[in-house]
Amino acid sequence: MYNLLKGKKGIIFGALNEQSIAWKTAKACFDEGAELVLTNAPIALRMGEINNLSKECNNAPVIPADVVNMDDLKKLFEQSMQHFGGGIDFILHSIGMSLNVRKGKAYTEIDYNFNQKTLDISAMSLHRVLRTAWDMDALNEGASVVALTYIAAQRVFPDYNEMADAKALLESVTRSFGYYYGKRKKIRVNTVSQSPTKTTAGSGVKGFDGFMNYAEKMSPLGNATGEDCAKYCTLLFSDYAKMVTMQNLFHDGGFSFTGVTQEIIEQMEK
C-alpha cells in the first residue's frame, strides 16, 4: 500500500455485500489510510452484511440514509462531519435501481411512474448528495466525488433498459455540478464507466453472463474487475488526480474504443 489517502476522510454510498464495487472501494480506501463513513438505504442495511465491512474498516460508522430524502442526507453529512471532526475529502456514489427491469418491462413499455423513481434513485440522487453537501459546505477544498456509470449511457445495450437513460442523466449531473464545485473550491466530480461486473445489481440484467463473456472478448485487456475499479476510484480520490474533473472515465479494458476483435470475428465465422 502507498498511503494515497492518508489523513483523508470519505463517505461510501452503496456497499451491499462483498460483491459490491462500493464494498471493495471502501476496503481499498481504508487500506490506503482513509477514515470512512458507510451508508446505504435503511432496507439495504437491514440485510446486516455492511456491519462486517465496518469491522474491517476500524469500526467505521454505518449511517442509514435514503438518497431521495433530503432530511436523511442532511443528517448523514451532519453526523459524518461530527465523526470526522471536520469536512469530507471524498465521496463514492454507487447507487442504481430500476423498477422496470425488476418488473420485467421492456424499454418500449416502461411504466413511467417506475421510470421516475429509477431516475430519482439512480441519477438525481447524485444531485441531491452534491446539493446537500453544497448547502452545508461539507466538502473540503480539493475534495473528490466519483459516481459509477456504464457505457450504455452512450451506446445501445437493449437489455440495460431504462438504466441507460439514468446513467446518461447521472453523467450530465456530474459535468454540471462539477463546474460549480470546481469554481467554488477546486472540488472534482467524475464518473467511472466500469466493465460489466458481477454485482448483485449487475447480475439482475437479462443476459448478463452472455454479455460479460462478449465484453471479455471485445476488450484488449479483458474486463476490469471490481477490485481494479476500487483501486482506480482510490486513485481518483487522491491528490494524484487533482486536475481531473467533469470527466466520464472508461475503466473497461479498452472495450469502449474497440471496434471488433479477432476473437469476435472468429466466433461469428463459426
Mean pLDDT value across residues 84-91 = 98
**pLDDT over 90 (residue 48):** no
Instruction: Write down the residue that cell numbers 448478463 correspond to.
Output: 208
Reply yes or no on whether the pLDDT at 140 is more than 90.
yes
Predicted confidence band of residue 239 (pLDDT cuts 50, 70, 90): very high
Q: What is the pLDDT of residue 202?
A: 58
Give residue 204's pLDDT band: very low, low, confident or very high (50, 70, 90).
Answer: low
Q: Which residue has the higher pLDDT, 269 or 118?
A: 118
Give the per-residue pLDDT at 112.
98
Cell 459516481, residue located: 147
What are the cell numbers at 264? 469476435
Q: Are strands 62-64 and 88-93 parallel, antiparallel or unpaired?
A: unpaired
Mean pLDDT along residues 77-82: 98
Q: How far apart are CA 265 and CA 168, in angstroms?
A: 30
Pairing, β 88-93 against β 248-251: unpaired
What is the rounded CA–CA span in Å between residue 227 and residue 199?
12
Strands, E, within the chain: which ranges? 9-13, 35-40, 62-64, 88-93, 139-149, 188-194, 248-251
Give mean pLDDT, residues 20-29.
97
Buried residues in 191-210 as b, exposed as e (16+ CB within 10 A)? bbbbbbbebebbeebeebee
What number is the average pLDDT over the span 232-243? 98
Supply the pLDDT for residue 57: 98
Q: What is the mean pLDDT of the segment spanning 204-215?
A: 78
Alpha-carbon radius of gyration of the chain: 18
Mean pLDDT of 198-218: 77
Per-residue model confidence (pLDDT) at position 53 = 96
DSSP secondary structure letter of residue 86: S
Confidence at 205, pLDDT banded by 50, 70, 90 = low
Distance CA 209, CA 202 (A): 10
Share the mean pLDDT of the chain: 95
What spatial distance separates the first Cα and last Cα of the chain, rounded to whole Å?
A: 46
Say if residues 136 and 128 touch (Cβ distance below 8 Å).
Answer: no
Closest among 166, 40, 34 to 97, alpha carbons compared: 166
Chain centre distance of CA 68: 16
Q: What does the pLDDT average to over 231-239?
A: 98
Distance of alpha carbon 44 from the chain centroid: 16
Q: What percent of the chain has pLDDT over 90?
A: 87
Q: Is the pLDDT of residue 213 over 80?
A: yes
Task: Give the mean pLDDT of 134-161.
Answer: 96
